[in-house]
Amino acid sequence: MAYGQKNNTLLVPGCHNALDNLKYEIAAEMGLPVHQGSEDYWGHIQARDAGAVGGEITRRLVQLAEQTLAGKQA
């Protein structure tokens, strides 16, 4: 993709809220001091911790996709 071009359109409309809920659920499980509605600023969180949240989101989404493909809805 060329510099400056973005292609981050959502394939499933309305999924933004579900992903935000998952993000804050995981952050709470990790004991991070963030709350719903603070999505624009996580500057007080270490990059390692924020990355761990993103990694856990990815792990759970892959797990859900694998279960779905195997015919076992979660």
pLDDT tens sequence across 11-21: 887 888 888 88
- Please state the length of the chain: 74
Predicted model pTM: 0.74
Q: What is the mean pLDDT of residues 53-59?
A: 95
CA distances from 36 to 1, 22, 55 (A): 33, 11, 19
1 pLDDT above the threshold of 60 = no
Q: Cα–Cα distance between 65 and 69 in angstroms, integer?
A: 6
Neighbours of 56 (CB within 10 A): 17
Report which residue type is found at 54.
Answer: G
pLDDT tens sequence across 30-49: 999 888 876 667 888 899 99
DSSP at 11: S
Average pLDDT, the chain: 85
CA distances from 9 to 13, 40, 54, 59 (A): 9, 19, 19, 21
